[in-house]
Structure 1
Amino acid sequence: MHAYSDEQVSRYLQYIVYQGDARQQASQDPIGCLTTLQRLHMARVPFESLSLHYSRHRLLSLDPQDLFAKIVGTGRGGYCMEVNAFFAAVLRGLGFTLYSAGGRVKIPTVGYTGWDHMVNLVTIQNQRYLVDVGFGSNGPPHPIPLQNGHEYTGISPARGRLQHRHLSDSHSDPHQRVWLLSTQDSPSAPWTERYHFVETEFLPGDFELMNLRTMTTPQSFFVQSVMCLRTILDDRTENVVGVLILHRDYVKRRVGAESEIVEQLESEAQRVGALEKYYDIVLSPEEQRGIWGLASELRPKAPHA
């Protein structure tokens, strides 16, 4: 499995504004270091689908060097397989022990998809942790121990829960077990199943096939939707307090239980400007032309007759 070089790791740490000696901290306080890395990463590296729309070829590479150039070199992010593969190579470069596994996402009214999600499983002192920097606003914002029934605080007031269980609506074999991640919007809200994953290590070839399907099938959420998301930290960058979401024709900020549309987008020029304004993402003229003619292109509404 690939690990980034010391020079690449140093560039990345500078990019996310990591304070202190990460290598020393990873050795002395690995869970603290991992938690800080995930928090800073998700606030700096967006979860986004832009290259499936603002591109001539609309193909996504999982090659580690391509990912480094895209994320650290050009200030972009990616969807789950991109950002989690990238983060895995960073963690290996810092000496963490981990592997990547596959997951299935639950779509409302549809059920579980096929294998189309990647997670990282990091082992610290004989305890495995779920580390996922690529599931958007409903993903865990910090490492989650693989302990059946473990509940955690997400982006307040949301909560999360991890269970090791049989899926009565999916499994035909009653002995099957998967790790199931669920969330609730508030302590009084119902639990919603988000995705499940297994502890089997997936190999690069597995993710290549998963990536091919996810980036090309017309039914893919990422193919259909222009989206970009990053987390919001408090003033001391110590806690995740919200999310900033660009989805199709709006930018929404959610901090705690409060949510507001901060900008309604009515044209491609306005959406391109919003990406630079809120995410520091600058699209080249060639990239901007890549969306012309696609269903996802944001066209000004025609005036009423």
Structure 2
Amino acid sequence: MLAPPHTFTSDQLELYLQRIQYAEDATANGTSRLACLQKSIEQDPLSALTQLQQKHIATIPWGNSALHYSQHKTISIHPTAIFEKLVVRRLDGYCMENTNLIYIVLRTLGYQVYPTGGRVSCAVATVNPANEGYLSLGHMILIVTIADHKYMVDVGFGSNGPTRPLLLQENASAILMAPSEMRLIKASLAEFVDKSQKVWVYQARHNPESAWVPHYSFSEVEFLPQDFGMMNFATSNQRSSWFTQALVCTRVILDETDAEPVGLYIMAGKEVKKRVGGHTEVVATVETESDRVQALGKWFGMHFHEHEVEGVRGLPSQIK
């Protein structure tokens, strides 16, 4: 007999909502965050979904610290492990952690949702817009159906990842973070033998005058937990995977009203950058592991045990 799909308890949902700072004034009024969310879903499920997505990417960082600041150098995508790491420990996670977390949250809340897999574009993986190829399956995306319309939801792509649900409709552009934009198109991948087969391609561009750049492709076929188990193993273990070579972290910045994404904090190499309104500034430069640990605490709210930090010794990502 198959095990029933994993769901969270009401207490776990409340902890998740506290983690993403949803309805911060609810407790002051004697109302639970979950009650506020459930009321919002009843009134406008798409608006509630949008708010959840934006709160999530603004509070739970996208990153791969567990492959560097740990003794085990592994990533578990078991729901309990993900909840413990991202909600309780308040650490970062990559797509199959972050998106898996909100997937279970949405399913528990009653949304019609399922996951699918995607291929990251070589144009962004190699920082070469002319590269038309795609990597192997290694990304997790959600398909949410609301009032018979399907939306793509993703909280685990990092820089230039979508900041709101995108209707599965071709060429309908939306604001990513002003002035940058995002959209979906249907296309046949360059590697496909059968060019009649088309998939969705998520694209982004820096401003209305710049070219659209493909970031990843995906289909509407439902993927199973065991599919992501294989994808996660390859992504976190292959020597050719850049996730095992460098420590990276991003977190979205919301505006003063916590309503709209306006920017991004990015930790890469020896710098923490802040990108807002198309302008980028370096807010911190790290020269030692101690500097980087402090920067991750200050800009991303992540705090590590001493033995976890010691795990980076001898790795290519170690600051020497």
TM-score between both structures, scaled by the size of structure 1: 0.95
Query: Hey, what does 2:139 align to over in structure 1?
Result: 117
Equivalent-residue separation in structure 2 for 1:267 and 1:28 (angstroms): 50
Give the letter aligned to residue 18 of structure 1. Y
SS at match of 1:163: strand
Query: Hey, what does 2:180 align to over in structure 1?
Result: 158
Give the letter aligned to residue 76 of structure 1. L
**Cα deviation 1:210-256 (Å, max 9, x = unaligned):** 00000011121211111111000111101101000111211000011
Query: Hey, what does 1:90 align to over in structure 2?
Result: 105
Q: Is the contact made by 2:62 and 2:95 (CA closer than 8 Å) also made in structure 1?
A: yes
Equivalent-residue separation in structure 1 for 2:259 and 2:93 (angstroms): 24
Query: Hey, what does 1:303 align to over in structure 2?
Result: none
Cα-Cα RMSD: 1.1
Query: Hey, what does 2:92 align to over in structure 1?
Result: 77
SS at match of 1:263: strand
- The number of aligned residues is 298
Q: Is the contact made by 1:26 and 1:95 (CA closer than 8 Å) also made in structure 2?
A: no
Give the letter aligned to residue 166 of structure 1. S
Query: Hey, what does 1:286 align to over in structure 2?
Result: 307
Percent of aligned pairs with the same residue? Answer: 39
Query: Hey, what does 1:146 align to over in structure 2?
Result: 168
SS at match of 1:147: coil
Q: Is the contact made by 1:98 and 1:122 (CA closer than 8 Å) also made in structure 2?
A: yes
**Cα deviation 1:76-126 (Å, max 9, x = unaligned):** 120011101111011112111100000000123562001000001111011
Corresponding residue to 2:243 among 213, 222, 237: 222
Equivalent-residue separation in structure 1 for 2:235 and 2:287 (angstroms): 27
Equivalent-residue separation in structure 1 for 2:42 and 2:238 (angstroms): 42
Q: Is the contact made by 1:232 and 1:243 (CA closer than 8 Å) also made in structure 2?
A: yes
Q: 1:201-212 residue pairs with structure 2 within 5 A?
A: 201-212=222-233
Equivalent-residue separation in structure 1 for 2:293 and 2:274 (angstroms): 18
**Does residue 1:57 correspond to 2:72, yes or no?**
yes
Equivalent-residue separation in structure 2 for 1:217 and 1:14 (angstroms): 35
The runs of at least 4 aligned residues of structure 1 exceeding 4 Å deviation read none
Equivalent-residue separation in structure 1 for 2:122 and 2:286 (angstroms): 26
Equivalent-residue separation in structure 1 for 2:117 and 2:258 (angstroms): 30
Query: Hey, what does 2:281 align to over in structure 1?
Result: 260
**Cα deviation 1:123-172 (Å, max 9, x = unaligned):** 101111100001112111000000122211101111111012223x2211
SS at match of 1:77: coil
SS at match of 1:113: strand
Q: Is the contact made by 2:103 and 2:142 (CA closer than 8 Å) also made in structure 1?
A: yes
Equivalent-residue separation in structure 1 for 2:167 and 2:308 (angstroms): 40
SS at match of 1:118: strand
TM-score between both structures, scaled by the size of structure 2: 0.91
**Does residue 1:272 correspond to 2:293, yes or no?**
yes
Equivalent-residue separation in structure 1 for 2:42 and 2:92 (angstroms): 28
Gaps in structure 1 of 5+ consecutive residues: 300-305
Equivalent-residue separation in structure 2 for 1:99 and 1:127 (angstroms): 14
Equivalent-residue separation in structure 2 for 1:174 and 1:248 (angstroms): 39
SS at match of 2:179: coil
**Does residue 1:101 correspond to 2:116, yes or no?**
yes
Give the letter aligned to residue 105 of structure 1. V
Equivalent-residue separation in structure 1 for 2:87 and 2:188 (angstroms): 40
1:27 deviation in Å?
Answer: 2.1
Gaps in structure 2 of 5+ consecutive residues: 27-35
